[in-house]
Amino acid sequence: MYQLLDGLSIIEASSFVASPTAGLYCAQLGAEVIRVDHKAGGLDYDRYMLTEQGRSLSWENLNRAKKSVALDLRSDEGRELLVALSANTGNLITNLPEKSFLGHDAIAAKQSESAPELVSVRIMGWHDGRQAMDFTVNAASGYPLMCGPEDWDMATAPPVNQVLPAWDFITGAYCAFALLAAERERRASGEGREVRVALSDIAATSLAHLGNVAEVMLSGHDREKTGNNLFGAFGRDFSASDGARFMLVAITPKQWRGMVDALEIADEIIQLERALGVDFAADEGARFTHRDKLDAVIEQGCARFSSSELEARFDRAGVTWSRYRSLHEAVTQDARLVAGNPVFSTVEHAGGAAYPTPGAAAYDPAVPREPAKPAPTIGADTDQILAEHLGLGSGEIARLHDRGIVG
């Protein structure tokens, strides 16, 4: 945890992954992020998977370091309180529709002259307002049909979905960046801004940034499947003599030479280069074009050594590699990833479970890391936030409790 955003208060009215991720990243860098939920919990409050105490691990981890306000968002008065909090704070992250009670103009109309002009970041499915989620956007992107073994027929091959909701996380990070950009402009101009970010646009622009849009437009056809081979360069999974699998990547000449030396395959590579008239160390494209022949040589090289021997050889030679692990193995056996990684600290969460929990991924090497902060319980900060941000007295807040407007 760092206090780089100390003094910045943000209202978050959201659910699922992308929107809470934007708030999480801001909170981890010191912003006061106030998540506002329906008093019984929002749509994502009890999402799978659950702890023995019934707490959602997804909710518990996407809402760390935030504050929580619980309102009856099915009532007009509860919704008015959320609008007032957004108006007074001047910063909002949400994935509620623009035409809902939490529209940008509706909030801005409630702002006092003393409040900073509203900066709202709204996460959408498609840019035209149609709903979408990460996995439907991914299906539309073309990526699932690019994946799969090389020998699958392009015309009949099934899609291969990824398990990581990558577009959600990229969108969340982009929205945190967009909010801070708009807030920076407001400091200079005094003007607020409505920012809309569509999951579909994050996917489409990412395709374009990687050259994929230009590739299919200029070639007139889809890219062939490449299985586990890295497209356009050298990289693939290989097995040691004991069956352990490794991912090897050689992008630079130095990485390539290191791998060749580690596997003691220099003679075989030289013979192949002479036969093909290429220089694999100098030509990254040649490594991809002739991957079938290269793969056979490297498979034989890896199969001569055990996994422990390969790991030692790869490290000595400066090879870029990683061993394939299950998630449980990765978390419990690879100290670099979790157990020995200083970004993690063991935190006891509100449901009673204690486990390794990350703080901010960005860090200043000159400043000690602070332990990660857990997510709040629903409504843990309601009274404090209503008093500090709306100026309500204890009597007024008590009456709201009595009438079930706040939780």
In the chain, what are the domains? 9-207+342-402 (3.40.50.10540), 234-323 (3.30.1540)
119-124 β-sheet, strand order: 67-71, 32-38, 9-13, 91-94, 119-124, 193-198
Q: Report, as an integer, the average pLDDT of 220-228.
A: 94
Instruction: Please state, in angstroms and rounded to a whole number, the distance separating the CA atoms of residues 35 and 59.
Output: 12
Q: What is the rounded average pLDDT of the residues 96-107?
A: 96
Average pLDDT over residues 323-350: 95
Q: What one-character DSSP code corresponds to residue 117?
A: P
pLDDT for 1 equals: 61
User: 258: which 2 tokens?
Assistant: 């290191």
Average pLDDT over residues 69-84: 98
Q: Would you state the pLDDT for residue 207?
A: 97
Task: Round to whole Å and give the CA distance between 405 and 79.
Answer: 9
Give me the pLDDT at residue 45, please: 92
- Count how many residues are written for the chain: 407
Q: What is the mean pLDDT of residues 312-326?
A: 97
Q: How far apart are CA 310 and CA 329, in angstroms?
A: 19
- Residues of the chain with pLDDT > 90: what percent? 95
Q: Output the pLDDT for position 54.
A: 84
**Across the beta sheet with 245-250, what order do the strands follow?**
234-239, 245-250, 320-323
Three-state SS for 9? Answer: strand
Residue 342 has pLDDT above 70, yes or no: yes
Q: How far is CA 75 from CA 45, 72, 84, 209, 213, in A?
A: 19, 6, 14, 44, 46
48 pLDDT band, cuts 50/70/90, is confident
pTM: 0.94
Q: How confident is the model at residue 2 (pLDDT cuts 50, 70, 90)?
A: confident
Tell me the catalytic residues.
Answer: 168
Identify the band that residue 51 occupies on the pLDDT scale cut at 50, 70 and 90.
confident
Q: Using CA atoms, how far apart are residues 300 and 330, in angstroms rounded to an integer? A: 27
Question: What's the CA gap between 70 and 39, in Å, rounded?
Answer: 4
**pLDDT digits over 345-362, tens only?**
999 999 889 999 999 999
Helix extents (H) in 52-110: 57-62, 76-89, 104-108
Contact 350/376 with Cβ under 8 angstroms? yes
Over residues 118-169, the pLDDT tens digits come to 999 999 999 999 999 999 999 999 999 999 999 999 889 999 999 999 999 9
